[in-house]
Chain A
Amino acid sequence: MIVLEKRPQPSKAWSYATPLVAVLATMVFGGILFAILGKNPIEAIGTIFWEPLFGEFAFYYRPQLLVKGAPLVLIAIGLSLGFRAGIWNIGAEGQYIMGAIFGAGAGLAFFPMDAFFIFPIMVIAGAFGGWLWAMIPAFLKVRFGTNEILVSLMLVYVAEQMLASVSLGLLKNPEGFGFPGSRNLQQYDSAHNAELIAGSGMHWGVVTALIAVIFAYILLNRHMLGFHIRLTGEAPRAAKFAGVNPARLILFCLGLSGALAGLAGMFEVSGPSGVVSIDFNVGYGFTAIIVAFLGRLHPVGILLAGGLMALTYIGGEIAQSQLGLPAAAIQVFQGMLLFFLLAFDLLTNYRIRAARSEVA
């Protein structure tokens, strides 16, 4: 008979090893899935993980890693702070949309003026939009004790409707021949989040994501507020005695994660995407949840996990065009990753022992 014995302290070694073991397990089971779909599993896995980095067209795909990874890291960093304290913002997708609407809206309000201050205003507006959307569940939780999981998630659907509404109305391109969608911000210099070095994929969103990683690291390791976040998650009773103000923590964690998600949306709409349209959002807000867990809620881990997840997105697209692998297969692949991660986490907190005998 096998029993689980709780470790007095989570195992350091396993906490580093589980993400790697989870990735390996996902590759094995993903390979089986691809084989069932009639694809050569080794070729498919190779295409996903090797082609974007070292393949023939890697010069094109490597910059894409930054483009796809930046929003994931930016959102996941914000989410991880809340997740650590047991505050579950799962509506980042909605905050991402609102950030894009606010950011693009602020920029388009100035069209066709050319001025240096337009882009900074858009950045602030984008962060504000995401923050505002996240403050709804935060305020309701603090004031009425409403479950933030359900409220933030419901607001994703509301934000999607808002997006449809502005694409067809308020922000619609007046010169767009009646097609839905806004003016292309890539063609409006003052509002364009252009590549900082041409062909590198490096835009302001990537820079912001890196800054967010550094700030989150400092916050968690060198700052009282970060200590309170960790304390609340690990020992809520101790946090109470230490004088942690839960309401302040909720407002901070949800507000910050909303602002970061809003920024991600704003950088996306003003750069890689360019237009506010009905199908603007592609699920970064949900994938970022996987990124946050895969990175073990640690800023550096999230940076690596964001890169890996971006790799599966790009590799998935290549596998789609070259091998005819369905797009949904990659979604399953990413979902599997979270499964294995949560399952193998058992080894971090528990020891598996063979029991001699059992009563009852």
Chain B
Amino acid sequence: MDLGEINPVLLVASLMVAATPLLLAAIGELVVEKAGVLNLGVEGMMIVGAISGFAISVETGSPWLGFVAAAIGGAVLSLLFVLLTQVALANQVASGLALTLFGLGFSALMGQSYVGVKPPSMGDIHIPVISDIPVIGPILFQHDPILYVGIALTAAVWATLKYTRVGLILRAVGENHDAAHALGYKVIKIRIMAILFGGACAGLGGAYISLIRVPQWTEGMTAGVGWIALALVVFASWKPWRALLGAYLFGGITVLQLNLQAAGVAIPVEYLAMSPYIITILVLVILSADKSSAPASLGRTFHASH
């Protein structure tokens, strides 16, 4: 065992990479939940995004096209959720589970011929001077572009929800869909847009795992990240910047336990590997006392009967 081998600069830098898929998925789900919809299919949308992105970037040789395909893949799967919950008015919990079960199977089917294939690399950005600053450079300015997209998306969602009319309408629909309907807003239409956005974000998050973080394709490779993202939304009390903070926290735990495994700490590998899940539970317990910030119409089906 040698803890001295763990390089703190590399640790923080890889923490940001580990956090990005979580952040992307959580920001998407945050918008969905703000609109009053609980989509438990994040894991399914992520894994479908992971394989769509992987397949397209291998076929075209362009990781950028891969990410576009991943967003489309996630959104198309979330369209099924739209059909179930917004058109067929099915239970949202059951529909989300269906989405995850279907997505896991579907991705395994699509991914058969991609096992062991190496995807084209996206490459890290390099800004002259800034990227070369010791310590700060490698931590903040030497990552792949999608990592910055994640942070920009967080800022955009925050600003949209807080300062724009669109954000206000979205929140109104999530807080009280009957009142929003009475005011003339198209509740279903707004929710459909939010769900599709959430699907696209989850797809991006999945592709980030298969194209940048790992990078290769294995069945079920998201390994519960989608579920942790759902927990992260609760952790963040439905606030975008807190989701960013939470994602970095979870990313940190993941990276730290991997580093400890590599350093050969006396704790068995299995116990280290289960730690992110246990910490998720602990965080949920600590934060579940305060439910006041949850959107009031969360998880309720809307049907305009008059």
Please report A residues at the B interface, Cβ cutoff 8 Å: 4-6, 88, 90, 136, 140, 144-147, 149-151, 153-158, 161-162, 164-165, 168-169, 286, 289-290, 293, 326-336, 338-339, 342-346, 349-350, 360
Q: Is B161 an interface residue (CB 8 A)?
A: no
Q: Are A140 and B281 in contact (CB under 8 A)?
A: yes
Q: Which of B81-114 contact A (CB under 8 A)?
A: 83-84, 88-91, 93-95, 97-98, 101-106, 108-109, 112
Using known A-B contacts A153-B224, A161-B271, determine if residue A6 contacts B303 with beta carbons closer than 8 Å: yes
Chain B residues with CB under 8 Å of A90's CB are: 97
Q: Is B284 an interface residue (CB 8 A)?
A: yes
Q: Are A155 and B281 in contact (CB under 8 A)?
A: yes
Q: Are A158 and B97 in contact (CB under 8 A)?
A: no
Chain A residues with CB under 8 Å of B94's CB are: 293, 338, 342
Q: Are A154 and B224 in contact (CB under 8 A)?
A: yes
Chain B residues with CB under 8 Å of A165's CB are: 268, 270-271
Using known A-B contacts A290-B101, A328-B112, determine if residue A164 contacts B90 with beta carbons closer than 8 Å: no
How distant is the Cα of A334 from the Cα of B91 in the complex, in angstroms? 19
Q: State which of B84, B223, B274 has its C-beta within 8 Å of the C-beta of A339.
A: B84
How distant is the Cα of A350 from the Cα of B234 in the complex, in angstroms? 33
Using known A-B contacts A331-B109, A335-B102, determine if residue A145 contacts B288 with beta carbons closer than 8 Å: yes
Chain B residues with CB under 8 Å of A338's CB are: 94, 97-98, 101-102
Chain B residues with CB under 8 Å of A164's CB are: 270
Q: Are B97 and A339 in contact (CB under 8 A)?
A: no
Chain B residues with CB under 8 Å of A168's CB are: 270
Can you spell out 9 A-B residue pairs with CB atoms less than 8 angstroms apart?
A4-B303, A155-B277, A328-B105, A329-B105, A331-B104, A331-B108, A335-B101, A335-B103, A339-B98
How many residue pairs bridge A and B at CB < 8 Å? Answer: 135
Using known A-B contacts A145-B289, A326-B112, determine if residue A360 contacts B184 with beta carbons closer than 8 Å: yes
Q: Are B93 and A162 in contact (CB under 8 A)?
A: no
How distant is the Cα of A157 from the Cα of B84 in the complex, in angstroms? 28
Q: Are A329 and B109 in contact (CB under 8 A)?
A: yes
Cβ-closest chain A residue relative to B95: A342
Cβ-closest chain A residue relative to B224: A157
Q: Are A335 and B84 in contact (CB under 8 A)?
A: no
Q: Is B280 an interface residue (CB 8 A)?
A: yes
Q: Are A342 and B288 in contact (CB under 8 A)?
A: no
Chain B residues with CB under 8 Å of A350's CB are: 89
A30 to chain B, nearest CB (A): 12
Q: Are B277 and A334 in contact (CB under 8 A)?
A: no
Chain A residues with CB under 8 Å of B89's CB are: 4, 346, 349-350
B299 to chain A, nearest CB (A): 10
How distant is the Cα of A326 from the Cα of B305 in the complex, in angstroms? 45
Q: Determine chain A's interface SS by DSSP, over half rule.
A: helix
How distant is the Cα of A155 from the Cα of B281 in the complex, in angstroms? 9
Cβ-closest chain B residue relative to A136: B281
Residue of A140, A161, A169 ringed by the most chain B CB atoms within 10 A: A161
Q: State which of B184, B223, B268 has its C-beta within 8 Å of the C-beta of A157.
A: B223
Bits for B261-301, please: 1 = Cβ < 8 Å to A, else 0: 00000001011011001101100110011010000000000
Chain B residues with CB under 8 Å of A334's CB are: 101, 105
Q: Are A158 and B112 in contact (CB under 8 A)?
A: no
Q: How many B residues face the partner with a CB closer than 8 A?
A: 47
Chain A residues with CB under 8 Å of B84's CB are: 339, 342-343
Q: State which of A147, A286, A328, A343 has its C-beta within 8 Å of the C-beta of B234.
A: A147
Residue of B112, B223, B227 ringed by the most chain A CB atoms within 10 A: B227
How distant is the Cα of A5 from the Cα of B230 in the complex, in angstroms? 33
How distant is the Cα of A210 from the Cα of B227 in the complex, in angstroms? 34
Q: Is B80 an interface residue (CB 8 A)?
A: yes
A1 to chain B, nearest CB (A): 13
B189 to chain A, nearest CB (A): 13
Chain B residues with CB under 8 Å of A346's CB are: 88-90
Chain A residues with CB under 8 Å of B277's CB are: 154-155, 157-158
Q: Are B101 and A289 in contact (CB under 8 A)?
A: yes
Excluding A150-B227, A161-B270, A327-B108, 19 further A-B contacts by CB distance (< 8 Å) are: A6-B303, A144-B285, A147-B231, A149-B93, A150-B280, A154-B278, A157-B223, A157-B274, A289-B97, A293-B94, A328-B106, A329-B109, A331-B101, A331-B104, A334-B101, A339-B80, A342-B91, A343-B88, A350-B89
Q: Is B172 an interface residue (CB 8 A)?
A: no
Q: Which 7 A-B pairs give the minimum distances between C-beta atoms?
A: A331-B105, A335-B102, A328-B108, A165-B270, A328-B109, A161-B274, A332-B105
Chain A residues with CB under 8 Å of B104's CB are: 331, 335
A131 to chain B, nearest CB (A): 18
Chain B residues with CB under 8 Å of A154's CB are: 224, 227-228, 231, 277-278, 280-281
How distant is the Cα of A272 from the Cα of B102 in the complex, in angstroms? 27
Q: State which of B91, B109, B184 has its C-beta within 8 Å of the C-beta of A332.
A: B109
Q: Is B243 an interface residue (CB 8 A)?
A: no
Using known A-B contacts A88-B93, A349-B89, determine if residue A146 contacts B105 with beta carbons closer than 8 Å: no
Q: Are B227 and A342 in contact (CB under 8 A)?
A: no
Q: Are B281 and A151 in contact (CB under 8 A)?
A: yes
Q: Are B102 and A342 in contact (CB under 8 A)?
A: no
Q: Are B274 and A162 in contact (CB under 8 A)?
A: yes
How distant is the Cα of A326 from the Cα of B105 in the complex, in angstroms? 11
B200 to chain A, nearest CB (A): 20
Cβ-closest chain A residue relative to B96: A149
